[in-house]
């Protein structure tokens, strides 16, 4: 059986097609309206459908723009399904990262007490698993879990372009499933804590 080698953070095209959509979203700020473009802000012939999107945000199903405003800082995972005119689709995972703008003057403080103040002295980092295996084969059960360190509050994750057969858990950082096609796969993970800190992780399996 052919081994599958896995590495993190390169965009994969689905079924040979290049999707004109972004992999990550920029942060937004408490009390300020935002417009986050998943596509190019125009009608590309795609249809965008968001699941588990917060009540204070909405998505334009034609242009792929997420708009809204939140009074509360934090990080929320959002799943978006993008379908083209031929019925082909790709599932994207994003993080709505809302930073507390009222704490901007003390973000660099080493002794800050606020829950939402940035911990710049100990930046958020994604750390690889110390126990999960790094070799698998087609059809075999696969599991790999990322962790983080120096997080403020709970952490959410977004996985970039997982191949068919794999899924990522936005709350635990775990990837599970089985590869359906042998080959070399490059995947990415983004994490965000409740202070607005973000980090990306890399691993070769």
Q: What is the CATH number of the domain that holds 150?
A: 2.60.40.10
Whether 154 shows a pLDDT value over 60: the answer reads: yes
Q: Tell me the CA distances in angstroms from 88 to 14, 19, 148, one per residue in order.
A: 9, 10, 34
Lowest mean pLDDT among 65-74, 77-86, 122-131: 122-131
* Nearest alpha-carbon partner for 195 in 114, 78, 121, 77: 114
State pLDDT tens for residues 90-134. Answer: 889 999 999 887 654 434 334 444 444 444 567 888 888 888 876
C-alpha of 141 from chain center: 23
For the chain, the residue count is 205
Taking 80 as the threshold, does the pLDDT of residue 198 lie above it?
Answer: yes
Query: How many domains does the chain contain in total?
Result: 1
| pTM score, whole prediction | 0.70
Q: How does strand 184-192 pair with strand 156-160? A: antiparallel
Q: Which residues of 31-53 are buried (b: 16+ CB within 10 A; e: fewer)?
A: eeebebbbbeeeebebebebeeb
- The boundaries of the domain holding residue 46 are 3-201
């Amino acid at each position: 059986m052919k081994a599958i080698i896995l590495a993190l953070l390169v965009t994969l095209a689905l079924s040979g097609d290049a999707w004109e959509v972004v992999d990550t979203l920029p942060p937004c700020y408490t009390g300020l309206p935002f417009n986050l473009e998943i596509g190019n802000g125009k009608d590309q012939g795609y249809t965008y459908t968001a699941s588990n999107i917060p009540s204070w945000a909405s998505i334009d199903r034609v242009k792929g723009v997420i708009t809204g405003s939140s009074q509360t800082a934090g990080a929320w995972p959002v799943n978006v399904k993008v379908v083209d005119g031929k019925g082909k689709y790709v599932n994207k995972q994003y993080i709505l990262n809302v930073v507390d703008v009222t704490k901007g003057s003390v973000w660099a403080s080493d002794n800050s007490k606020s829950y939402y103040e940035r911990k710049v002295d100990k930046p958020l980092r994604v750390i690889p698993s110390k126990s999960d295996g790094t070799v698998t084969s087609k059809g075999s059960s696969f599991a790999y879990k990322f962790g983080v360190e120096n997080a403020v509050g709970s952490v959410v994750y977004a996985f970039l372009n997982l191949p068919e057969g794999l899924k990522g858990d936005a709350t635990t950082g775990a990837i599970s499933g089985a590869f359906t096609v042998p080959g070399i796969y490059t995947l990415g993970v983004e994490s965000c804590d409740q202070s607005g800190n973000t980090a990306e992780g890399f691993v070769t399996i």
